[in-house]
């Protein structure tokens, strides 16, 4: 067994082992003990597994950059299809993003998630990590679908963790949307197999040249709509704005950074390795996808402007930002594709930072409306600074990571001679400033409406915010994520960074080796 | 060694039937012994079945002539790959019996234990006889053994509603049995033979006639009633929901498959006779797709978990019948694998539901909220079963759904493929309701809030079966590899 195969297996199995270790649920909490003893071990196991997976995926990314690829057939799902894992540039990029963001979210969760039902959410987090890794490294469509559905369904546990009526309602909406999307993807996979007889991801596509164009269009529509639900492509985005606020903060970060991105990643795989650039050009379906993405970018950003709940605002921002990814894909140009992939990575960490911060703010104030944020920066300086940094990144201010991805997206749009889309990019950035900068302004400059002059501060509120800034896990996760947005921006073109991998992946997709 | 298979084959049927006769004697001193004895007989039968399957794998199909009378005249037992695959069904009895030990404690008075176990073994014997019989008359007889023992098992719970459910079951079952008897008589009159293979050959030699068509059609309709294909399903939900849970598991998982195996025998019979199967296949496809959707639709309105499971059987029979109707290689493989996989999943679900009902005393979703907190293992098994029956990967149900849908596209009937994929989505709606209530709601009943896990004799079968649902999903190649040659043979016989 080569080192690559070993790393692959460890990355996939470590979280599953940790999930098994966390199955001590329901834990009877002895009265008078703040942290049940088993919980400490369980958290250690989770963090260890998260770290192992992150290291493995990063190592695999490094190996891919040296030109190594590897295919590993694990199990025979049916006589015609194997469960196959494969390492390539795009997969390594998504896997490393998912694993690192997951590790940060796990660290954050240690400080954030308390109370009953921890065993359940811990186990779900670990299995979802394994499923995300499986999605990243899937070597054929069926393997991809298996892990994709596993990820979709188990995410339900993360969404409804709080078990409030709102969370349960959001969970129902989520599961109905996502299963509908999953069924569409399954129909697409079935059609692909019926048409091509083969499901392996192959650059340039799997279909024969004489395949019926209309059948191919139906298959593509299935995939586009199915993944569109997950990637929050309008008008299939309905679940996003409810599920994100309902989920606990670390889970919201993962929802945005990994799960919504899984839809985008699925589109990447399907476009370049099931259909292939030439086929897509001849089918003429991409303009439709691009139009949907364009609408998504603008409308979602406009909706974000109107949200009072910070997490809802961020959720709509995710919808809008994922629109960039789809739009860039629809252009079918190598640079735009590299931009899309690098945007997937950079957005994950930016949005992760923002959701981590939003969780801390909500924790500090006990509320989630914009009004509750007024003047909060004085009491939570580190968190507010991180939020500001990520906001600037989202808008695309150099030298932050958001700038790099937008630069490549913009260059790609020009290269594909679609200057009109460049305007969309700029409008999107402008609107991002419109929906995020007021939050920053409120944090720093608004007068605290919760504390009218002459009234003594509510004791609870003050101590809560004090507590938040003194919870090391939250601060560690927030600062590391914020630092990543800076580092990913400043050293973007360094070897071994996402941009290099994204360009390598795009070069592969477009046949440049 | 070569004669081992034919020698052992009659014992496969005789063993459980003899066991059934012995149960009352064993139970004379202490009714509890009946359970252990029945388990031993079920295990022995399973072991015997595995030997036969091993024989089949090494030397191909074999027959046994009862009493030494050669084939067209004597009674012939025939063990082919279809029969072998149904042996897996019989193996599920070995899980149901230990489960019912403790279950009966709470649900049945002691004096009814011996009849209960005897009927279970009769049912098993009938099922095995039905799969291996080589002649039409015994097809009828063994079907009646299965049916009659099933009616009695539904009524064994003994309350007023059970008697009504059993009566409804019996009335529709009797119609179907009459149709089979009528068809058998007709075929005998036409061909002068009762041996399945012989009848097929003689039908092929004779002119295709209206009478032969009528006989085959009667057989098909009769078996579809037995299989509870929508709209011939009306007897099923009540009977399956009212019966004690181990009985529900057997009825829903195994007994309805008598209809499916019978339908496949009809196809084998019709192969080569020159009778066009196109009309039958069209009917099967339409009814199958309708059953998938209607079963799901009716299940959505149920609050009783056992009724929900019963309606989901209707949907799943729809999958199988749709697969048979599509008659393409992939679809038939999927349908045939689903005969067992559905049984496995449904037995898992009914036993898990039974354990939950046994421990809490409640059976509706609204009462059972939050039950997963106190019975995590059973609820997890239920969740695995639910995900399997919906056909999410990587579970046993996905493999079948995948193949049947693939078969639809293969047969150029893409519409049915979409119907199946989105019908499954519809089914998931009510399983989401169930999982949501079990896992994500707070208990409303004190009995649920204070429930304890089921005893090991109930929990172990449930957990092993749930694990099997996952294993068969991940290693789907094994069952498919086993049934593929049988499907290829059938399709070759059908001239495709």
Interchain proximity B474–A75, CB inside 8 Å: yes
Q: Are strands B76-79 and B62-65 parallel, antiparallel or unpaired?
A: antiparallel
- Average pLDDT of the segment spanning A29-47: 68
- Average pLDDT of the segment spanning B428-448: 84
- Average pLDDT of the segment spanning A350-379: 83
- Average pLDDT of the segment spanning B242-256: 87
Distance from the Cα of A104 to chain B's closest Cα (Å) equals: 26
Q: Chain B within 8 Å of A193 (Cβ-Cβ)?
A: yes
Taking the alpha carbons at both ends of chain A, their separation in whole angstroms is 26
Extract the tokens encoding B26.
Answer: 């064993």
Kindly report the backbone phi and psi dihedral angles of residue A85, in degrees, each rounded to the nearest multiple of 5, phi listed first: -110, 145
Interchain proximity A175–B481, CB inside 8 Å: no
Q: Chain A within 8 Å of B21 (Cβ-Cβ)?
A: no
Interchain proximity A78–B414, CB inside 8 Å: no
Interchain proximity A172–B436, CB inside 8 Å: yes
Extract the tokens encoding B17.
Answer: 């039937």
| Beta-carbon pairs below 8 A across chains A and B | 81
- Average pLDDT of the segment spanning B220-229: 87
Top-ranked range on mean pLDDT: pick from A254-258, B238-242, B422-426: A254-258
ipTM of the complex as predicted: 0.86
Q: Which of these ranges, A32-41, B34-43, B154-163, has the smallest mean pLDDT? A: A32-41
Interchain proximity B484–A79, CB inside 8 Å: yes
Residue A455 reports pLDDT greater than 70: no
Comparison of pLDDT for A212 and A391, the residue scoring more: A391
State percent of chain B over pLDDT 90.
17
Say which residue the tokens 């995939």 belong to. Answer: A223
Q: For position A425, what pLDDT does the model report?
A: 86
Distance from the Cα of B418 to chain A's closest Cα (Å) equals: 7
Say which residue the tokens 């009265």 belong to. Answer: A31
Distance from the Cα of B444 to chain A's closest Cα (Å) equals: 15
Half-sphere exposure of A70 (CA within 13 A, CB side): 19
| 8 A C-beta contact, residue A304 and residue A334 | no
Interchain proximity A168–B484, CB inside 8 Å: no
Residue A340 reports pLDDT greater than 60: yes
Instruction: Give the distance, in angstroms, between the CA of residue B213 and the centroid of all CA atoms in the same chain.
Output: 27
Of B418, B422, B476, the CB nearest to A78: B476
Q: For position B490, what pLDDT does the model report?
A: 82
Q: Chain B within 8 Å of A190 (Cβ-Cβ)?
A: yes
Distance CA B226, CA B229 (A): 8
Instruction: Give the distance, in angstroms, between the CA of residue B152 and the centroid of all CA atoms in the same chain.
Output: 17
Q: Provide the pLDDT confidence category of residue B416 given band limits of 50, 70 and 90.
A: confident
Q: For position A26, what pLDDT does the model report?
A: 46
- Average pLDDT of the segment spanning B202-229: 85
Extract the tokens encoding B78.
Answer: 């025939």
Q: For position A467, what pLDDT does the model report?
A: 54
Of B373, B387, B422, the CB nearest to A183: B422
Say which residue the tokens 């199990």 belong to. Answer: A75
Of B402, B414, B418, the CB nearest to A78: B402
Interchain proximity A190–B417, CB inside 8 Å: yes
Q: For position A131, what pLDDT does the model report?
A: 93
Interchain proximity A175–B476, CB inside 8 Å: no
Q: Chain B within 8 Å of A437 (Cβ-Cβ)?
A: no
Interchain proximity B421–A186, CB inside 8 Å: yes
Q: For position B204, what pLDDT does the model report?
A: 80
Of A146, A179, A190, the CB nearest to B406: A190
Comparison of pLDDT for B95 and B70, the residue scoring more: B95
Among the residues of B136-277, which ranges form H helices? 136-155, 160-191, 196-205, 210-226, 236-242, 245-250, 256-270
Question: How many beta carbons lie within 10 A of that of residue A358, not counting itself?
Answer: 26
Interchain proximity B376–A149, CB inside 8 Å: no
Q: Domain extents for chain B?
A: 4-493
> By CB neighbour count within 10 A (0-12 exposed, 13-18 middle, 19+ buried), where does B69 fall?
exposed
Q: Is the peptide bond before B231 cis (omega within 30 degrees of 0)?
A: yes
Q: For position A463, what pLDDT does the model report?
A: 46
Interchain proximity A153–B405, CB inside 8 Å: no
Q: Chain B within 8 Å of A162 (Cβ-Cβ)?
A: no
Phi-psi region of B60 (alpha: psi -120 to 50; beta: other; left: phi over 0): left
Interface test with B, best of A183, A195, A198, A246 (most B CBs within 10 A): A183
Residue B310 reports pLDDT greater than 90: no
- Average pLDDT of the segment spanning B428-457: 84
Of B425, B474, B481, the CB nearest to A180: B425
Q: Provide the pLDDT confidence category of residue A458 given band limits of 50, 70 and 90.
A: low
A147: nearest CA partner in chain B: B393
For the residues of B355-382, what is the DSSP string, one character each? HHHHHHS--BTTTSTTHHHH-HHHHHHH
Distance from the Cα of B415 to chain A's closest Cα (Å) equals: 11
Q: For position A512, what pLDDT does the model report?
A: 57
Taking the alpha carbons at both ends of chain B, their separation in whole angstroms is 36
Run of H or E including B423 = helix B414-440
Residue A21 reports pLDDT greater than 60: yes
What single-letter DSSP state applies at residue B101? Answer: H
Distance from the Cα of A238 to chain B's closest Cα (Å) equals: 18
| 8 A C-beta contact, residue B423 and residue A180 | no
Contacts of A56 (CB under 8 A, 6+ apart): A7, A8, A10, A11, A14, A99
Comparison of pLDDT for A211 and B309, the residue scoring more: B309
Q: Provide the pLDDT confidence category of residue A462 given band limits of 50, 70 and 90.
A: very low
Interface test with B, best of A78, A149, A172, A180 (most B CBs within 10 A): A78
Q: Chain B within 8 Å of A176 (Cβ-Cβ)?
A: yes
Distance from the Cα of B303 to chain A's closest Cα (Å) equals: 18
Q: For position A24, what pLDDT does the model report?
A: 55
A24: nearest CA partner in chain B: B376
Q: Chain A within 8 Å of B392 (Cβ-Cβ)?
A: yes
Residue A441 reports pLDDT greater than 70: yes
- Average pLDDT of the segment spanning A506-513: 75
Residue A430 reports pLDDT greater than 70: yes
Q: For position A469, what pLDDT does the model report?
A: 64
pLDDT digits (tens, 9 = 90+) for A74-86: 877 777 778 888 8
Of B399, B417, B425, the CB nearest to A78: B399
**DSSP 3-state helix, strand, coil percentages of chain B (rounded to 5)?**
80, 5, 20
- Average pLDDT of the segment spanning A502-510: 85
Q: Which of these ranges, A29-33, A96-100, A263-267, has the smallest mean pLDDT? A: A29-33
| 8 A C-beta contact, residue A428 and residue A470 | no
Contacts of A269 (CB under 8 A, 6+ apart): A90, A138, A141, A144, A201
Q: Which of these ranges, A114-123, A406-415, B135-144, has the smallest mean pLDDT? A: A114-123
Interior CA angle at A109 toward A480 and B382, to 5°? 140
pLDDT digits (tens, 9 = 90+) for A99-144: 999 999 999 988 888 777 777 888 889 999 999 999 999 888 889 9
Q: For position A25, what pLDDT does the model report?
A: 46
pLDDT digits (tens, 9 = 90+) for B465-496: 999 998 988 888 888 888 888 888 888 877 66
Interchain proximity A149–B425, CB inside 8 Å: no
Extract the tokens encoding A411.
Answer: 């260059």
Say which residue the tokens 């094994």 belong to. Answer: B478
Residues of B in contact with A26 (CB under 8 A): 373-374, 376
Q: Provide the pLDDT confidence category of residue B420 given band limits of 50, 70 and 90.
A: confident
Residue A16, helix vs strand vs coil: helix
pLDDT digits (tens, 9 = 90+) for A300-328: 999 988 888 888 889 999 999 899 899 98
Q: Domain extents for chain A?
A: 3-24+41-450+466-510
Q: For position A460, what pLDDT does the model report?
A: 47
Interchain proximity A191–B477, CB inside 8 Å: no
B475: nearest CA partner in chain A: A77
| 8 A C-beta contact, residue B371 and residue B448 | yes
Instruction: Give the distance, in angstroms, between the CA of residue B6 and the centroid of all CA atoms in the same chain.
Output: 25
Interface test with B, best of A194, A216, A225 (most B CBs within 10 A): A194
Q: For position B159, what pLDDT does the model report?
A: 67
Interface test with A, best of B477, B485, B487, B488 (most A CBs within 10 A): B477
Question: How many beta carbons lie within 10 A of that of residue A40, not counting itself?
Answer: 11
- Average pLDDT of the segment spanning A165-176: 89
B427: nearest CA partner in chain A: A179
Q: Provide the pLDDT confidence category of residue A449 given band limits of 50, 70 and 90.
A: low
Angle between helices A89-112 and A118-137 (to 10 degrees): 170
Q: CA dist B380 to A65, B424, B447, B464, B468, Å? A: 42, 21, 19, 12, 13
Distance from the Cα of A163 to chain B's closest Cα (Å) equals: 6
Question: Which A positions 52-91 lie with beta carbon below 8 A of chain B?
Answer: 75-79, 83
Interchain proximity B477–A79, CB inside 8 Å: yes
Distance CA A267, CA A181 (A): 13
Q: For position B385, what pLDDT does the model report?
A: 92
What value does the CA radius of gyration of chain B take, rounded to a whole number of Å?
Answer: 22
What sign results for the dihedral spanned by CA atoms A268, A270, A275, A279? Answer: negative
Interchain proximity A160–B440, CB inside 8 Å: yes
Among the residues of A258-367, which ranges form H helices? 260-270, 277-283, 286-305, 310-331, 334-365
Distance CA A502, CA A500 (A): 5
Q: For position B170, what pLDDT does the model report?
A: 85
Q: For position B382, what pLDDT does the model report?
A: 92
Q: Provide the pLDDT confidence category of residue A377 given band limits of 50, 70 and 90.
A: confident
pTM of the entire predicted model: 0.89
Interchain proximity A25–B376, CB inside 8 Å: yes
Q: For position A267, what pLDDT does the model report?
A: 92
Contacts of A337 (CB under 8 A, 6+ apart): A268, A272, A328, A329, A412, A505, A506, A509, A510
- Average pLDDT of the segment spanning B167-190: 88
Residues of A in contact with B424 (CB under 8 A): 183
């Amino acid at each position: 067994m080569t080192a690559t195969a070993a790393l692959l297996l460890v990355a996939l199995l470590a979280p599953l082992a940790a999930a098994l270790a966390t199955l001590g649920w329901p834990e009877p909490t002895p009265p008078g003990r703040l942290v049940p003893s088993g919980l400490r071990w369980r958290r250690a196991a989770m963090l260890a597994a998260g770290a192992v997976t992150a290291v493995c995926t990063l190592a695999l990314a490094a190996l891919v950059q040296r030109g190594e690829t590897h295919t590993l057939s694990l199990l025979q799902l049916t006589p015609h299809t194997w469960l196959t894992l494969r390492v390539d540039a795009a997969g390594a990029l998504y896997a490393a993003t998912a694993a690192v963001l997951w590790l940060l979210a796990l660290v954050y969760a240690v400080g954030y998630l308390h109370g009953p039902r921890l065993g359940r959410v811990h186990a779900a987090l670990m299995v979802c990590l394994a499923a995300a890794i499986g999605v990243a490294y899937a070597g054929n469509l069926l393997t991809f679908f298996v892990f994709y559905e596993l990820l979709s369904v188990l995410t339900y546990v993360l969404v409804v963790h709080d078990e409030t009526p709102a969370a349960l309602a959001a969970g129902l909406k989520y599961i109905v949307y996502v299963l509908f999307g999953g069924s569409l993807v399954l129909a697409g996979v079935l059609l692909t197999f019926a048409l091509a007889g083969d499901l392996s991801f192959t650059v340039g596509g799997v279909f024969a040249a004489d395949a019926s164009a209309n059948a191919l269009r139906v298959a593509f529509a299935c995939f586009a709509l199915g993944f569109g639900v997950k990637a929050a492509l309008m008008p299939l985005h309905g679940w996003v704005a409810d599920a994100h606020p309902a989920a606990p903060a670390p889970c919201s970060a993962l929802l945005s950074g990994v799960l919504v991105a899984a839809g985008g990643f699925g589109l990447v795989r399907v476009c370049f390795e099931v259909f292939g650039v030439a086929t897509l050009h001849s089918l003429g379906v991409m303009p439709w996808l691009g139009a949907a993405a364009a609408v998504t970018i603008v409308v979602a950003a406009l909706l974000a402007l109107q949200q009072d709940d910070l997490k809802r605002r961020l959720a709509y921002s995710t919808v809008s930002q994922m629109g960039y990814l789809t739009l860039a894909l629809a252009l079918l140009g190598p640079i735009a594709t590299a931009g899309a992939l690098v945007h997937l990575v950079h957005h994950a960490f930016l949005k992760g930072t923002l959701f981590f911060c939003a969780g801390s703010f909500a924790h500090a104030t006990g509320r989630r409306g914009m009004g509750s944020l007024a003047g909060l920066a004085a009491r939570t300086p580190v968190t507010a600074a991180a939020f500001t940094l990520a906001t600037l990144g989202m808008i695309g201010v150099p030298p932050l990571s958001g700038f790099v991805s937008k630069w490549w997206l913009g260059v790609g749009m020009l290269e594909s001679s679609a200057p009109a889309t460049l305007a969309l990019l700029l409008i999107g950035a402008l609107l991002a400033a419109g929906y995020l900068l007021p939050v920053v302004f409120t944090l720093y400059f608004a007068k605290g409406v919760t504390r009218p002059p002459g009234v003594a501060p509510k004791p609870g509120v003050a101590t809560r915010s004090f507590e938040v800034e003194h919870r090391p896990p939250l601060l560690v996760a927030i600062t590391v994520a914020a630092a990543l947005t800076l580092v990913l921006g400043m050293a973007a073109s360094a070897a071994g960074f996402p941009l290099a991998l994204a360009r390598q992946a795009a070069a592969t997709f477009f046949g440049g080796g | 060694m070569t004669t081992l298979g034919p020698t052992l084959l009659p014992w496969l049927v005789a063993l459980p039937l003899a066991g059934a006769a012995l149960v009352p004697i064993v139970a004379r001193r202490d009714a509890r012994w009946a359970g252990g004895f029945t388990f031993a007989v079920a295990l022995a039968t399973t072991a015997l079945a595995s030997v036969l399957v091993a024989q089949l794998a090494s030397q191909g199909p074999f027959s046994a002539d009862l009493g030494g009378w050669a084939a067209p005249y004597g009674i012939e037992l025939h063990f082919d790959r279809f029969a072998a695959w149904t042996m897996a069904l019989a193996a599920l009895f070995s899980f149901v019996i230990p489960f019912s030990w403790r279950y009966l404690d709470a649900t049945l008075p002691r004096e009814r234990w011996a009849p209960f176990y005897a009927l279970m073994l009769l049912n098993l014997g009938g099922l095995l006889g039905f799969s291996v019989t080589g002649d039409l008359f015994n097809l009828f007889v063994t079907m009646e053994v299965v049916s009659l023992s099933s009616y009695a098992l539904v009524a064994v719970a003994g309350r007023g509603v059970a008697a009504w459910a059993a009566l409804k079951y019996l009335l529709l079952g009797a119609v179907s049995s009459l149709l089979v008897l009528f068809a058998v008589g007709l075929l005998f009159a036409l061909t002068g033979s009762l041996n399945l293979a012989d009848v097929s050959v003689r039908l092929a030699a004779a002119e295709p006639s209206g009478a032969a068509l009528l006989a085959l059609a009667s057989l098909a309709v009769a078996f579809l009633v037995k299989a509870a294909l929508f709209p011939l399903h009306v007897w099923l939900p009540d009977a399956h929901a009212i019966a004690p849970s181990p009985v529900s598991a057997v009825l829903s998982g195994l007994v309805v498959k008598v209809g499916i195996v019978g339908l496949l025998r009809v196809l084998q019979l019709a192969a080569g006779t020159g009778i066009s199967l196109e009309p039958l296949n069209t009917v099967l496809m339409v009814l199958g797709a309708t059953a998938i959707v209607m079963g799901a639709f009716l299940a959505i309105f149920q609050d009783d978990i056992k009724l929900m499971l019963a309606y989901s059987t209707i949907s799943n029979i729809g999958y199988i019948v749709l697969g048979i109707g599509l008659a393409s290689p992939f679809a038939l493989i999927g349908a045939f694998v689903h005969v067992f996989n559905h049984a496995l999943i449904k037995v898992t679900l009914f036993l898990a539901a039974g354990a939950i009902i046994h421990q809490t005393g409640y059976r509706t979703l609204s009462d059972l909220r939050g039950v997963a907190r106190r019975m995590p293992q059973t609820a997890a098994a239920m969740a695995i079963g639910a995900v399997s029956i919906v056909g999410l990967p990587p579970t046993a149900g996905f493999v079948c759904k995948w193949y049947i849908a693939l078969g639809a596209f293969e047969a150029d009937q893409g519409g049915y493929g979409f119907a199946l994929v989105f019908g499954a989505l519809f089914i998931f709606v009510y399983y989401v309701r169930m999982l949501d209530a079990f896992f994500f709601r707070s208990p409303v009943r004190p009995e649920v809030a204070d429930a304890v896990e089921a005893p090991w004799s109930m929990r172990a079968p449930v957990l092993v079966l749930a694990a099997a649902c996952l294993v068969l999903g991940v290693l789907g190649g094994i069952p498919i590899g086993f049934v593929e040659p049988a499907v290829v043979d059938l399709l070759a016989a059908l001239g495709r």
